Amino acid sequence: MKETSKQESMFTAIADIQRRKILKILKHNEMSVAAIKSHFDFSGATLSHHLNILKNAELVRVRRQGQQRIYTLNLSVVEELLLLFNQIFVSQENEKQK
């Protein structure tokens, strides 16, 4: 995936409040789809849609454990996203102070 396209998919993924909530939940532990679903009122199809967007942005990883899919936060990509935010916003703040 090209760098710009990867960044666009990450920003698209975190633009939605429900996906940010999923990331926040996964911050503490890896979880099955059923465990993630217990935190939300929307349908399984909607959750699947959100998880696919997060997975395509590489913000989460998924593995199979028997019949279950287990999701975990992809910390290396989250760190990459934080660095990108730092470059954008801290650089702008430093330029304003000059």
Give yes or no for a contact between 78 and 60, defined as CB atoms under 8 angstroms apart. Answer: no
Longest dimension (CA), the chain: 57
Q: What is the pTM of this model?
A: 0.80
Q: Look up residue 70 and give its amino acid.
A: I
Per-residue confidence in pLDDT tens, the chain, 98 aa: 566 787 888 889 999 999 999 999 999 999 999 999 999 999 999 999 999 999 999 999 999 999 999 999 998 877 777 787 788 788 655 666 65
Give yes or no for a contact between 21 and 56, defined as CB atoms under 8 angstroms apart. Answer: no
pLDDT in tens, 41-62: 999 999 999 999 999 999 999 9
Helix (H) / strand (E) containing 21 = helix 17-26
In this structure, CATH architecture of domain 3-97: Orthogonal Bundle (1.10)
What is the residue extent of each domain of the chain? Answer: 3-97
